[in-house]
Amino acid sequence: MPVSISSREILEKLVSFPTVSRDSNLDLVDWVEEVLTGAGIKCYRDYSADGKKASLFAHVGPGVEGGVILSGHTDVVPVDGQGWSMEPFQVTERDGRLYGRGTCDMKGFDALALGLVLRAANAPLNRPLQICLTRDEEIGCIGAPPMIRAMEGVVPKAALAIIGEPTMMQAVTGHKGGTGVDTHLRGFEVHSSLIDRGVSAVMEGAKLIDWANRMNAENRAKMPKGSDALFDPPYTTLHVGVVEGGTAHNITAKDCRFLMSIRAVPGDNVEDWIARYQAEAQALEAQMQAIHPECFIITEPVFDVPGLRPEENGAAEQLVRQLTGDNGTHVVSYGTEAGQFQQAGYSSIVCGPGDIAQAHQPDEFISVAQFEAGEAFMDRLLKVLCA
């Protein structure tokens, strides 16, 4: 039976669920499933190993292959320590903007996609539509791959996937790949006045971080090749955002931990960069063990986000350009789940409402104009599916 709820009302409900990645998203998934099943749409879940989170997917229209996937993630980044001037988990409209955590990244798109699926359930579709709402995107895009595998044999395979990260409704055909390498250094504690007899895990870790600085400088100095030149910045970057370690200012640190993040342009192989980093760590470990044999460095890749490659005559690109009228060339330096869909055999593209500059910010917002542009996109897509 038809369910009467607007995309704007869906957005308000989605934002009200504080689905920060460290917490469960099941309340949101329960609500979405209740709304979709109320419209006669069968839903499927793919749970995390601990059962506290789930991705959800559904299919409407004829039970044939060749459909269109609309995919978005359900999790958001924390608001801790941010200077919000309004309630983050409530949509507030002000001066042509819709404020709230996730309005831009990316519950705005999720709401529009859900609104379309509800309308499509009662439309004469000649081509099927599928929706995917993933978990754990914000901690390394780790929820999409198992969900994509779970879809196999459960719903007919779609031809293409539109991942609705905020692109100002532009057709983004490429993005960098990325990985994170969890790094743990074990030193040897002595009084810092006897520093030559100990090994400071923090100071040794700083050498690996400085190696990343040197690699960034070398990459920056190179002339970018081919499509790499389209990116900003047009080279592979390495970054450490958080460092933990040490006991006191006068003790050589026993432990140091950080995540080495690598964002690679298409012309570079992420695996090669991991190997280079691990080789640097092994060389440093040997120097540490020459002072004390109990020292070590453990490096472990913890996530892998493949890059999105521009496709020649790609079905996803052709459809999105038809719907948006955008014929420009656009790539982005942030990662998305689009590369994972592409890797699984779907023609893929990134296109969604909102400005990525607002993502993760205090007082995050999506403009009303962008939300309406997304609604118009969905209207045009429905017509194509019914044609």
Mutual angle of helices 108-120 and 368-386, in 10-degree steps: 30
Contact 60, 114 (CB under 8 A): no
- DSSP code per residue over 57-109: EEEES-S-S--EEEEEE--B---TT---SS-TTS-EEETTEEESTTIIIIIHH
Contact 238, 216 (CB under 8 A): yes
Contact 284, 130 (CB under 8 A): no
Bridge partners of residue 243, in order along the sequence: 258
The residues near 325 (Cβ < 8 Å, ≥ 6 apart) are none
66: which 2 tokens? 């060749």
Tell me, yes or no, if 75 is annotated catalytic. yes
Nearest alpha carbon to residue 375 among 367, 364, 386? 367
Q: Which one is catalytic: 46, 105, 110, 137?
A: 137
Bridge partners of residue 251, in order along the sequence: 191
Tell me, yes or no, if 65 is annotated catalytic. no
Q: Is 115 exposed, middle or buried (0-12, 13-18, 19+ CB in 10 A)?
A: buried
| H or E stretch covering 301 | strand 296-305
Distance CA 219, CA 145 (A): 30
Distance CA 208, CA 217 (A): 14
Q: Is the peptide bond before 233 cis (omega within 30 degrees of 0)?
A: yes
85: which 2 tokens? 């001037």
Contact 113, 72 (CB under 8 A): yes
Q: Which one is catalytic: 12, 46, 75, 204?
A: 75
CA dihedral sign, ordered 110, 73, 315, 313: positive
Question: Which residue blocks in the chain are alpha helix, DSSP H?
Answer: 7-16, 26-38, 108-120, 144-151, 201-221, 270-291, 315-324, 338-343, 368-386
Residues marked active site are found at 75, 137
